[in-house]
Amino acid sequence: MFERSLRIISFDQLVKIKNLNILIVGLGGVGGAAFEALVRSGVGKITVIDADVFDSSNLNRQLLSNVNNIGHNKVLEASIRAKSINPDILVDSKKMFLDESNINDIDFTLYDYVLDCCDSVNTKVLLIEKCKEYDVKLITSMGTGNRLDPSKLVITDIWKTNYDPLAKKIRSILRKKKINYKIRVVTSTEIPCKPKEGVGSFVFVPNCAGFFMASFVINDII
């Protein structure tokens, strides 16, 4: 299945990708796209963490959702989809909401990379701390809601982000914790719109953010 991949990368690079063990936290718009890209890139083992199920509101943007899996758990559906693409892949599906009560149940030493694609500020900060503690590479997604232009996405340091309310909240917490080291993030430089209520999301930005994250991981490894 990787004939086209081997036209632009070497066999040894493909083996490096196959030997990766990656953790993805959150399988929404960003995480689902990152998962899909990593599966199709040939990653050999992926652990996915998410407590949520698919609902109809996900259909407008989440790659792993469809009308037939509404009400189904996201991590189990991700495993089914991955196996339908690459039967040799190993997917460890963890149906859980990651927080202080269970984060120590995760063995971070197993992973080559962590992709933080969740929505929880608290969980994002915990992942930043744990990846630093165990010297695991991390890339984390910032806000993709209320935006329409994927060309405004960039990968940068969290301390250099602009127009990103989520990044601003996280920076504030990190300062209080006296954490000031470089943290790689995907963020949008687009000024977010202001819906009359709640947070809106369209297909382009979250999916491109997930693909950006997967691309960064693969290019970093090879």
Contacts of residue 68, defined as CB under 8 A and 6 or more positions apart, other chains included, come to: none
Q: What is the pLDDT along the chain (222 residues), one digit of tens a residue?
A: 999 999 999 999 999 999 999 999 999 999 999 999 999 999 999 999 999 999 999 999 999 999 999 999 999 999 999 999 999 999 999 999 999 999 999 999 999 999 999 999 999 999 999 999 999 999 999 999 999 999 999 999 999 999 999 999 999 999 999 999 999 999 999 999 989 888 999 999 999 999 999 999 999 999
CATH superfamily of 5-221: NAD(P)-binding Rossmann-like Domain (3.40.50.720)
The whole-angstrom separation of Cα 206 and Cα 167 is 15
Q: Burial-class residue 135 by CB neighbours within 10 Å (0-12, 13-18, 19+).
A: exposed
Asked if residue 141 lies in contact with residue 213, where contact means CB atoms within 8 angstroms, the answer is: yes
Asked if residue 137 lies in contact with residue 131, where contact means CB atoms within 8 angstroms, the answer is: yes
Closest CA relative to residue 22, chosen from 51, 48, 40: 48
The structural domains of the chain, with segments of one domain joined by +, span 5-221
pTM greater than 0.95 (yes/no)? yes
The whole-angstrom separation of Cα 192 and Cα 163 is 7
> What's residue 46's pLDDT?
98
Q: Strand (E) positions, 72-210?
A: 90-94, 113-116, 137-141, 153-157, 184-188
> What's residue 196's pLDDT?
87
The whole-angstrom separation of Cα 207 and Cα 21 is 22
